[in-house]
Amino acid sequence: MNGYKCSKDSRNHISAHRDNSLNRRPQFYENRYSMKILLIYPYFLEERVHVEEIRVLPQGIFFVAALCRQHGYEVEILNWYDIHRRPQEIRETLKRIRPDIIGFSILHANRWGGIDIAKIARGIDPAVNIVFGGIGATYLWEHLLANFTDIDYIVLGEGEIGFFELIRCLESGRTNDIPAIDGLALRRGGKPVCTGPAQPVANLDLLPNPARFFTYQHVSLTRGCPGNCTFCGSPGFWHRWVRFHSAAYFVDQLELLNRKGLHHFFFCDDTFTVNSQRVVEVCRLILERSLDITWQAISRVDMINEEILYWMRKAGCIQISFGVESGSEKIRRLLNKRFTTAQIEQAFSLTTRYGILSRAYFIYGCPGESRETIKESIDLMRRIKPLGTVFYILDLFPGTALYAIYRRLFGVTDDIWLERIEDILYFETDPKLDRDQVLSFGRMLRTAFHENLPDFVHSIELVEQKDLYPMHADFLSRLAMTFDQGDYAAVEAIPNKPQLAEFLYRKALSYHPEPRAFLGLATLLQKAGRHDAACGLLQEAVRHFPDHEPLNISLGISLMNLGQFDRALTRLLPFQNDRQVLRFVLDCYRALGDRESAARCRDILQEPSSGD
């Protein structure tokens, strides 16, 4: 069994009664609830090169907080992924808020951050109730309660109902009822016990919409994944059962967040496309409501088709990530990735054809890994031509099949996590692999991707469907920007980046007028000293987009470079409220010998700006 071990038999015959908390109508009475609830996403031990890997709050924390807010509780969420850099703030904040209950969202790698903060909180207020939850706490509930006395309770699995029922019991003083809450771990007689498995919410739409209370960019249509990957904790946590929000609930959430000013979203479902009909329904609703959004999603190569891709692209999808993991079929079998090389190739080909950036996840340092299997991954990469990649070293985490095998082979217990470590790298357990070897595998993969990326770009062929032409222009211009001023611009191993950017900008404009493409290409021409060409291109651009501020400013700069200061002013003056633009206006007046106007500009620039 790879899931967390907490059966009804482990309850010591405690009877359970579960309130239907979601169907109960929320009641709001002034000062009815006095408990202060603080939810914390704690810090990790290791620094990340890409901090975006850890700084995003798990979406579950918003659902937990929303249910409490709906019932009138005072709830605050703290994203403390980097608080270890400002440790004095921990004590200051806890003293200021004085929470009655602190809930910690534990993935696994941040468990020590939670343990450390819990100890500080207990020192400030010995009576505070400290609750751990999340996948990391769920799989290590017994270990955590046995070894860290500052932790009072652990909410197992899906946390909304268990946490809500716990705070109701604590507030009312009905502590004898706490053992009757499903999905809770606590101590009885000083020993960790579990009240039984958490009962999942069958109808996810009964959960209050967190977007009513909070602002965030990571959203999910589903909970669970049908996959059974040996490196992943999802099969044991969700038991391979996928539940769905309705399309209306999900798009309502997007619309509320969009009204708050968010325009890009990360759909963080394990497999967004598991139900094609639901996906199309979501996309149609996004279009019907005219939501001005873009988004990216995660899928499986065996759960994608042209209809899904068409509707996803129309509705704003700009990137899909697929777990390829390895080019070696033997390693994919060990990881339990049950799809074929042909399915991988088709998924990437179709995704790119519909103008969606295809990104591949690869895992290396796996059982049986060698230079030969790495070469197989590189060969596959060259065939599928991903436009983005993420390379991971294989980790062992509690709750995964690989971790269970590791424990059995080496006779270790969960007490290994008493060490201040985030994870166990598989290669550290395999005498056939060593650190330098595995790191060299990573370099091989990254170098191969970067060196072949120009060929992948030049091989792009988009579907000939006219209603997608504006999306094609958008896709190509976004990709161009990555080489021009985005992530790839700083990668020395990628050859001919300016040429790639120019190629993509021009290809974008061959499909449809696109402001980003006009501006990017003009900037490249300006950098190359080709001001006549830049000026001509931008004059065409402003015919399509006469009120577009960046295009007009760029045209004004090109005209200045050509010495046409009178014409430059006609483009710049409408935007002179921008202090940088006003500096260009000042330069124009100086060049024209208009001292009075130049003096007026200079006086304005000497005044303190509103941001000073």
Numbered ranges of CATH 3.40.50.280 in the chain: 8-194
- Over the stretch 365-409, which tens digit does the pLDDT of each residue have? 999 999 999 999 999 999 999 999 999 999 999 999 999 999 999
For residue 259, which amino acid is it?
R
What pLDDT sits at residue 237? Answer: 86
Interatomic CA distance for residues 91 and 137, integer angstroms: 23
In the three-class reduction of DSSP (H, G, I as helix; E, B as strand; rest coil), residue 341 is classed as: helix
- Cβ–Cβ < 8 Å for 295, 264: yes
Numbered ranges of CATH 3.20.20.70 in the chain: 204-467
- Cβ atoms within 10 Å of 599's Cβ, excluding its own: 12
Residue 599 scores a pLDDT above 60: yes
- Cβ–Cβ < 8 Å for 334, 357: no
Task: Please give the CATH superfamily to which domain 8-194 belongs.
Answer: Cobalamin-binding domain (3.40.50.280)
The band of 48, judged by pLDDT with boundaries at 50, 70 and 90, is confident
Residue 575: in which H helix or E strand, if any?
Answer: none
- Determine how β-strand 36-41 pairs with β-strand 74-79: parallel
CATH of span 204-467: 3.20.20.70
- Over the stretch 473-512, which tens digit does the pLDDT of each residue have? 999 999 999 999 999 999 999 999 999 999 999 999 999 9
Interatomic CA distance for residues 280 and 247, integer angstroms: 9
Numbered ranges of CATH 1.25.40.10 in the chain: 531-612
Angle between helices 549-561 and 531-544 (to 10 degrees): 150
The band of 269, judged by pLDDT with boundaries at 50, 70 and 90, is very high
Let me know if domain 531-612 sits in CATH 3.30.70.3040: no
- Determine how β-strand 129-133 pairs with β-strand 153-155: parallel
- Over the stretch 200-249, which tens digit does the pLDDT of each residue have? 899 999 999 999 999 999 999 999 999 999 999 888 888 888 999 999 99
Residue 9 scores a pLDDT above 70: no
Residue 5 scores a pLDDT above 70: no
Interatomic CA distance for residues 517 and 527, integer angstroms: 15
Name which of 146, 232, 183 is nearest 404 in CA terms. 232
- In angstroms, the Cα distances linking 32 to 27, 70, 74, 172, 462 are 9, 13, 11, 11, 59
